[in-house]
Every structure is written in structure tokens, then in C-alpha cells.
Amino acid sequence: MKRFPVLIAVALVAVFVAVAYAVAPPDTIVINSIQKLKPPVPFNHKAHAARATSCQECHHKNKVGEEQKCSACHQGVNLKDAYHEQCKECHKKQGKGPTKCDGCHKK
């Protein structure tokens, strides 16, 4: 019986570590051009996340309260428009970062 609390504690720690690992985003994300007219955009997620006050600045939450990828809500041209609106408007508001096509879509 003395091992039971220890087993519960170990199980809780394991679950916490697994959840933390599962929600940790990659450092860099490659955003492919929807219409293949422009080169893909390497997006430094780690650097942007460090500047944001919360994940909700960029991400919507799903019905169970979890952040989700942009493509979970937005598809096709709507996804392109969502990226452009979100990224360009934030760059304009912050007064830094690219706002023209070739600033993100490097050749």
C-alpha cells in the first residue's frame, strides 16, 4: 500500500511531461505557398512565440480549449488570406518585420 501514492505521483508526472511535450511547437515551421506561385516561408515560431504575450495572439482555440494550427480552421485561399492578414497586420502594428511579398517569400 505504501507504493500506491508513489505510483500515482509517477503516473501524474509522466502524464504532465507527455502533455507538455505534445503541445510544444517546433522551432521553425515551413509554410508552403497555397497556389505555388511564391516560394515557401520559413517561419521562426520560437522567436515569434517569445515575443507574443499569449498563443491566442495568433491561434484560435478549438471547442475543448486547445490552440490549433491555422489550417484547422482556414483552408485554401482562405488560409493564405488568414496568414497574410495576421502576419502583415502584426508587422505593421509592431513597426518591424516584412510587409511585402519578398520579405517572407525568399527566392
* DSSP character string of the chain: -THHHHHHHHHHHHHHHHHHHHHPPPSEEEE--TTSSS--EEEEHHHHHHH-S-GGGTPPB-TTS-B--GGGT--HHHHHHHHHHHHHHHHHHHT-S--SHHHHS--
Report the CATH number at residue 89. 3.90.10.10
How many domains does the structure of the chain reveal? Answer: 1
Within-domain flag for 83: yes
pLDDT score at 36: 83
Within-domain flag for 81: yes
Within-domain flag for 75: yes
Within-domain flag for 4: no
pTM given for the model: 0.66
Within-domain flag for 95: yes
Determine the structural domain holding residue 85 and report its residue range. Answer: 27-104
pLDDT score at 7: 65
- What average pLDDT values come out for the chain (107 residues) when binned by 10 residues? 63 57 76 87 92 88 85 87 92 93 91
